[in-house]
Amino acid sequence: MPETAGPAIWQRRMMLAVLLTPALLWLFALIILPHIELALLSLRQRIAPHTYAASLTQYQTFFAEPLYWRVFVRTAILSALATALTLLVAFPVAWIIAKVARGRASSLLFVLCLIPFWVSETVRALGWLILLRESGVLPTLLVRLGITAVPVELLYHDATILIGLIYTSLLFMVVPLVSSLESLDNSLIEAAYNLGGTGASILRQIVVPHAAPGITSGCIVVFMLTLGNYLTPNLLGGKNSQWFTELIYTQFIVRFNWEQGAAFGFLLLGLSTAMVALGLRVSGQRFVDVMRRA
Amino acid sequence: MSIPDLSVEQIDKRFADHVAVDRLSFAVERGSFFSILGPSGCGKTTLLRMIAGFTLPDSGDIRIGDRSMRAVAPNRRPVNMVFQHLALFPMMSVGDNVGFGLARRGVGKAERARRAAAMLERVGLAGAAHKRVDELSGGQRQRVAIARSLVLEPTLLLLDEPLGALDLKLREHMKIELKQLQAAFGTTFVYITHDQSEALVLSDHVAVMNHGRFEQIGTPQQLYYQPQTPFVAGFVGANNCIAGRALGVDAELVELVTPQGWTVRARRSGSIAVGEAVAAFVRPEVASIEREAAQLPPHMTCHAGEVQSLLFDGANSAVLIVEQQTRFEFRVALPQTGRLADLTPGARVFFGFDPQRAICFSASAGAAAPAGAGGGHA
Nearest CA in chain A to B148: A195
> Which residues on chain B are in Cβ contact (under 8 Å) with A205?
89, 91-92, 100
**Hey, which residues 162-191 in chain A have their CB within 8 Å of chain B?**
185, 187-188, 190-191
State residue A191's pLDDT score.
96
B235-377 and B6-225 share a CATH fold: no
Domains within chain A, CATH numbers bracketed: 59-293 (1.10.3720.10)
Check pLDDT > 70 for residue A6: no
CB–CB contacts below 8 A, A to B:
59
CA distance A201 to chain B (A): 8
Query: 3-class SS at A127?
Result: helix
Kindly state whether B16 is in contact with chain A, defined as any CB-CB distance less than 8 angstroms.
Answer: no
CA distance A176 to chain B (A): 19
Does the domain at B235-377 match CATH 2.40.50.100? Answer given as yes
Residue among A195, A198, A208 with most chain B CBs within 10 A, to mutate? A195
State residue B374's pLDDT score.
33
pLDDT tens digits along A124-158: 888 999 999 888 899 999 999 999 888 888 889 89
Contact A88, A219 (CB under 8 A): no
Check pLDDT > 70 for residue A53: yes
Using the beta-carbon criterion (under 8 Å), do B101 and A196 form an inter-chain contact? yes
Using the beta-carbon criterion (under 8 Å), do B89 and A188 form an inter-chain contact? yes
State residue B366's pLDDT score.
59
pLDDT tens digits along A159-217: 999 999 999 999 999 999 999 999 999 999 999 999 999 999 999 999 999 999 899 99
Using the beta-carbon criterion (under 8 Å), do B148 and A195 form an inter-chain contact? yes
State residue B377's pLDDT score.
31
CA distance B59 to chain A (A): 22
Contact B307, B347 (CB under 8 A): yes
For B152, which of A195, A205, A209 is closest by C-beta distance? A195
Model ipTM over 0.90:
no
> Which residues on chain B are in Cβ contact (under 8 Å) with A188?
87, 89
Using the beta-carbon criterion (under 8 Å), do A187 and B75 form an inter-chain contact? no
Determine which of B275-279, B297-301, B349-353 has the lowest per-residue pLDDT on average: B297-301
Using the beta-carbon criterion (under 8 Å), do A196 and B76 form an inter-chain contact? yes
Using the beta-carbon criterion (under 8 Å), do B87 and A201 form an inter-chain contact? no
CA distance A223 to chain B (A): 26
CA distance A213 to chain B (A): 12
Residue B185 C-beta-side C-alpha neighbours within 13 Å: 24
State residue A94's pLDDT score.
95
pLDDT band at B313 (very low <50, low <70, confident <90, very high): confident
For A201, which of B74, B91, B104 is closest by C-beta distance? B104
Kindly state whether A24 is in contact with chain B, defined as any CB-CB distance less than 8 angstroms.
Answer: no
> Which residues on chain B are in Cβ contact (under 8 Å) with A210?
90-91
Kindly state whether B81 is in contact with chain A, defined as any CB-CB distance less than 8 angstroms.
Answer: yes
State residue A5's pLDDT score.
58
State residue B240's pLDDT score.
94
Tell me the H-state helices in chain A: 2-26, 33-42, 57-64, 66-95, 103-114, 121-132, 137-144, 158-182, 186-194, 199-202, 208-227, 231-237, 244-249, 258-283, 287-293
pLDDT tens digits along B144-159: 999 999 999 999 999 9
Check pLDDT > 80 for residue A86: yes
Determine which of A177-186, B186-195, B366-375 has the lowest per-residue pLDDT on average: B366-375
Kindly state whether B15 is in contact with chain A, defined as any CB-CB distance less than 8 angstroms.
Answer: no
Q: Where are the domains of chain B?
A: 6-225, 235-377
Residue in A124, A160, A158 with CA at minimum distance from that of residue A139: A160
> Which residues on chain B are in Cβ contact (under 8 Å) with A209?
91
**Residues contacting residue A220 through CB under 8 Å, at least 6 positions apart:** A276, A279, A280, A290, A294
pLDDT band at B335 (very low <50, low <70, confident <90, very high): confident
Does the domain at B6-225 match CATH 3.40.50.300? Answer given as yes
The one-letter amino acid at A266: F
Contact A259, A183 (CB under 8 A): no
Check pLDDT > 60 for residue B358: yes
Query: 3-class SS at B197?
Result: helix
Check pLDDT > 80 for residue A4: no
Using the beta-carbon criterion (under 8 Å), do B89 and A192 form an inter-chain contact? yes
Give DSSP secondary structure letters for A136-151: SHHHHHHHHTTS-SS-
State residue A294's pLDDT score.
55
Tell me whether strands B33-37 and B205-210 are parallel, antiparallel or unpaired: parallel
Nearest CA in chain A to B79: A194
d(C-alpha B160, C-alpha B77), whole Å: 17
Residue B164's CB is within 10 A of a number of other CB atoms, namely 13
Mean predicted confidence (pLDDT) in B251-277: 92
Kindly state whether B84 is in contact with chain A, defined as any CB-CB distance less than 8 angstroms.
Answer: yes
The average confidence (pLDDT) of chain B is: 90
> Which residues on chain A are in Cβ contact (under 8 Å) with B80?
194-195
Give the percent of chain A with pLDDT over 70.
97
Mean predicted confidence (pLDDT) in A31-55: 89
